Structure 1
Amino acid sequence: MTGISTHYFLGGNTGKGFYSHFNYIISQKDATRIICLKGGPGTGKSSLMKKIGKHYIDRGYDVEFHHCSSDSDSLDGVLIKELKVAMLDGTSPHMIDPITPGAVDDIVNMGICLKEENFKNIKFNILAVNEEIGNSFRRAYRFFAAAKSIYDDWYTFNNEALNLYELNILKENLKNRILPNTFSSLGKKRHLFATGFTPKGVITYIHNIVKDMSSVYVLKGSPGTGKTRVLEYIADEATRRGLDVEILHTPLNPEKIEHLLIPELKVALVTSNEITKIEFHGEEYDMDSLLDANYIEKKQDDIDDVSSIFYILLQKGLDCIKTAKDLHDELEEFYVPNMDFNKADQIYEEVLNKIQGYEESL
């Protein structure tokens, strides 16, 4: 029997630049081991994590696959849940370093697979491409920041029409329906992304993440209709009752919640929103029904204008992320021919043996 694979993003290209939740893959206190992979592009970090993840999935272990928002076909991390063993890409922009070396953290240097003697004549080519990649990301983040600013205008139109009394009733009804009326020590909050701004456009793994949830509550509505406030309220109330929650943030504004999971209750609260534009099977709440329809009608032309501008700016940012990926592919062309794949295979066997040792000791 194969294990369950769940897919997330650990970091995001956002309206506030690159935003990392890497420290939430697993805590130092809970981890058996956190293996930090170092090495340049094309040195096999993602391939190594994919092979390790597949090995344990095939053996019946549940594995989280954490994708790279700058290339969703590549991985930034894996977590073998039952073993509490994580692997992470520790290179830029993540820059993950061991916190408790020896006791929790290991470093695996994939850079030893490079044939360094071959890089002398391509040094300046690599530096030039790296500079172009950096420029593309900076442009993308400016467009995403501009899109967020316009989004805030869109949000404000709806928020001014929002019936707060009805919103509070909805929050209380959901709390009473979902959560037990018992209190204990505080639960934990884990922060990740389900959605990413990637070279392939807006990608979300939320359907995969909620596939095993018994109850899915869908908040469907425009910006400013109170979706985030509901999620924040339920998250706080759940942790007050000793329940751990997974908070999945939106890449447009990484401080805001897009979706919420309460794994112990097998409950998910998700938003059907203007960025992912996907539908869910679940109990649906129409957040637009909380708006003053007369006010919205008066402002509809302005709302249409700002929403149109928002999508233009968002697409501009996504185009820049695609450009950065194309340039990164060029960069890998310098590295892959100068890679010793026999050494990479040897590292895979060493890492696998090490993890199997942790497995046997549990």
Structure 2
Amino acid sequence: MKGNVIHYFAGDHTAKGFFTLYDSCFQDTGLIYKLNGTSPCVKSRLMKRLAEASLKKGIALEMIHRSSDPEELDGVILPGLNIGFVDGDCFMGSGKDIDTDVALDKDLLAIHEDEILGLKEKIENEFSSAHASFATGLHIHDGLEEIYINQMDFTKANQLAVDLNDRFFDGVAATGRTAIVKHRFFGASTPHGVIDYIDNLTEGLDKRYFIKGRAGTGKSTLLKKIAAAAEELGFDIEMYHCGFDPESMDMVVVRELGFCIFDSTDPHEYFPDREGDEIVDIYEKAVTPRTDENYATAIMELNRSYKSYMKNGIVILQEVKRLHDGLEQIYAAATDDSKVDALFDQIKAELEA
């Protein structure tokens, strides 16, 4: 799908379990259609069709992908119309309920009830195993952070934050509004590996700042300070969490001021490739020189170890997708396509009215 559309995740399988940000993404959406039902595929299918119909009319879109299968959708937002659609299993807020199970043959599903329950139990167990593998990786990663934390000059790091905030906001008048802060993920651990939508999310911005550094060098803290300054002035902010450790930040976008600043290190390492791109190197500015060389062996071993657990988590997510595909085959055989079409027509007619 091309056009005026941005892509992101609102939930991710992380070192701290499945971490959800759906409520934040829909916080200022006036009309929310909650698609309830047992088949995620039917719900995603409806949202894809609604997104396609909106794009044909030139309507701007936000497409929220499912981290366990990024080709599927968990939500769609039409910000210009103040309307959203979301998988009811993801969103805890209120909305207009749509029962997608009307498109399913319940008698046929009853025949496969034991198989369905067995697959769901296996899927949940595999997700728990993936989370545990990611958690072990994060614990090892903490050791990597400790090396760099002990070599940090925090006075210089704090001054870097002050200098950047002066650059971004000096002379910028407060809006007088209360800022809307939306929390999202630009990337996620998926069965296809770690993927991100940074290029898409930053496409229309005048300035992009690429933070270079190492584990524990304060990239997330720097981003939080910049976001706090923008919020104090009343500018709306997009806060993108780390898909590995969701309590850390990886990117801040302030669209009204035309800039973003993000952690541009592995596994989402980017380099300037267009006018307006600039590197902010924390390692160079605030870390003891030759730290990489002085601790090379320990750094190499910790990197190798934590990445092995990350890769193992991805392998487990691949098994989850295999199991989930089997589950969806059962639902697909019980789906009446004409009833899915009727649901789509019903929602589309309401939107057009």
TM-score by length of 2: 0.94
Q: Pick from 39, 60, 63: which aligns with 1:62?
A: 60
Does residue 131 in structure 1 map to residue 121 in structure 2? yes
Q: Pick from 158, 166, 171: which aligns with 2:148?
A: 158
Alpha-carbon distance in 1 for matches of 2:146, 2:279: 23
Does residue 305 in structure 1 map to residue 301 in structure 2? yes
Look up the equivalent residue of 1:347 and give its one-letter code: L
Instruction: Report the equivalent of 1:84.
Output: 82
Secondary structure of 1:254's aligned partner: coil
Instruction: Report the equivalent of 1:189.
Output: 181
Secondary structure of 2:295's aligned partner: helix
8 Å CA contact 1:180–1:241 kept in 2: the answer is no
Instruction: Report the equivalent of 2:109.
Output: 119
- 1:308-351 CA deviation, whole Å, 9 max, x = no partner? 10110000011111110110001111110111110000000001
Alpha-carbon distance in 2 for matches of 1:176, 1:69: 36
Query: What stretches of structure 1 move > 4 A for 4+ residues in a row?
Result: none
Secondary structure of 1:44's aligned partner: helix
Instruction: Report the equivalent of 1:344.
Output: 340
Look up the equivalent residue of 1:79 and give its one-letter code: I
Q: Pick from 281, 288, 294: which aligns with 1:292?
A: 288
8 Å CA contact 1:8–1:65 kept in 2: the answer is yes
Q: Flag the 1:138–1:24 CA change in 2: closer, same or farther, 3 A.
A: same
Q: Flag the 1:278–1:136 CA change in 2: closer, same or farther, 3 A.
A: farther
Instruction: Report the equivalent of 1:102.
Output: none
Q: Pick from 199, 212, 228: which aligns with 1:220?
A: 212
Secondary structure of 2:351's aligned partner: helix
8 Å CA contact 1:42–1:335 kept in 2: the answer is no
Does residue 332 in structure 1 map to residue 328 in structure 2? yes
Task: Please report how far the alpha carbon of residue 260 of structure 1 lies from its aligned counterpart in structure 2 after TM superposition.
Answer: 0.6
Alpha-carbon distance in 1 for matches of 2:74, 2:347: 17
Alpha-carbon distance in 1 for matches of 2:3, 2:191: 29
Greater mean deviation of Cα atoms: 186-195 or 71-80: 186-195
Task: Please report how far the alpha carbon of residue 24 of structure 1 lies from its aligned counterpart in structure 2 after TM superposition.
Answer: 1.8
Instruction: Report the equivalent of 2:20.
Output: 20
Q: Indicate the percent of aligned positions where both proteins have the same amino acid.
A: 27
Instruction: Report the equivalent of 2:314.
Output: 318
Alpha-carbon distance in 1 for matches of 2:282, 2:41: 47
Does residue 10 in structure 1 map to residue 10 in structure 2? yes
Alpha-carbon distance in 1 for matches of 2:298, 2:33: 51
Instruction: Report the equivalent of 2:246.
Output: 254
8 Å CA contact 2:23–2:93 kept in 1: the answer is no
Q: Flag the 1:16–1:120 CA change in 2: closer, same or farther, 3 A.
A: same
Instruction: Report the equivalent of 2:38.
Output: 40
- 1:4-44 CA deviation, whole Å, 9 max, x = no partner? 010000111111111111112222xx333100001122651
8 Å CA contact 1:98–1:106 kept in 2: the answer is no
Greater mean deviation of Cα atoms: 227-236 or 180-189: 180-189
Q: Flag the 1:158–1:194 CA change in 2: closer, same or farther, 3 A.
A: same
Greater mean deviation of Cα atoms: 274-283 or 227-236: 274-283
Q: Flag the 1:295–1:119 CA change in 2: closer, same or farther, 3 A.
A: closer
8 Å CA contact 2:40–2:87 kept in 1: the answer is no
8 Å CA contact 1:161–1:296 kept in 2: the answer is no
Greater mean deviation of Cα atoms: 213-222 or 160-169: 160-169
Task: Please report how far the alpha carbon of residue 231 of structure 1 lies from its aligned counterpart in structure 2 after TM superposition.
Answer: 0.5
Q: Pick from 147, 155, 158: which aligns with 1:168?
A: 158
Instruction: Report the equivalent of 1:75.
Output: 73
Unmatched tracts of structure 2, length 5 or more: none
Greater mean deviation of Cα atoms: 166-175 or 321-330: 166-175
Look up the equivalent residue of 1:156 and give its one-letter code: E
After superposition, the CA RMSD in angstroms is 1.5
8 Å CA contact 1:161–1:295 kept in 2: the answer is yes
Look up the equivalent residue of 2:101 and give its one-letter code: G
Look up the equivalent residue of 1:46 and give its one-letter code: S
Look up the equivalent residue of 1:117 and give its one-letter code: D
Task: Please report how far the alpha carbon of residue 271 of structure 1 lies from its aligned counterpart in structure 2 after TM superposition.
Answer: 1.4
8 Å CA contact 1:71–1:199 kept in 2: the answer is yes
8 Å CA contact 1:196–1:202 kept in 2: the answer is yes
Alpha-carbon distance in 1 for matches of 2:184, 2:73: 14
Does residue 230 in structure 1 map to residue 208 in structure 2? no
Secondary structure of 1:203's aligned partner: strand
Alpha-carbon distance in 2 for matches of 1:165, 1:194: 30
Look up the equivalent residue of 2:21 and give its one-letter code: H
8 Å CA contact 1:3–1:58 kept in 2: the answer is no
TM-score by length of 1: 0.92
Q: Pick from 194, 198, 201: which aligns with 2:190?
A: 198
